[in-house]
Amino acid sequence: MKSGKQSIDNNSSAEHVEQHLQELEKADYELLYYSQEQSFSADELARLINEERLNELMAQSDAFLSSLNGEIKDFDESTDN
């Protein structure tokens, strides 16, 4: 009888975990769905975005991509020999 009760408990636990995971998945989907529905005015975006920091990040990414492009060219040239 103990193994039957243990089996029921295991199924119950597995069912609870499955149900919880489904609820989390649904919550993630709802969050994604509703976040895409929100529109921001130009004033709101200007207030939220740190333009100076954004420009710094863009400059860093440009520098990184330029460096990466140079490394790729150097790699291509070294494999051609």
pLDDT digits (tens, 9 = 90+) for 45-61: 888 889 999 999 999 99
Residues 34, 58 share a domain: no
Number of domains forming the structure of the chain: 2
pTM of the model: 0.39
**Higher local confidence (pLDDT), 80 or 40:** 40
For 26, the domain range is 1-38
Same domain, 2 and 32: yes
Q: Are residues 6 and 26 in the same domain?
A: yes
Rounded-to-integer distance, Cα 28 and Cα 35, Å = 10
| pLDDT (tens digit per residue) in 1-33 | 455 554 455 568 888 888 888 888 887 777 777
Residues 71 and 60 in one domain: yes
Quick check: 40 pLDDT over 70? Answer: yes
* pLDDT computed for residue 60 by the predictor: 96
Same domain flag for 7 and 22: yes
- CA angle 60-65-67, nearest 5°? 95
Tell whether 1 and 18 lie within a shared domain: yes
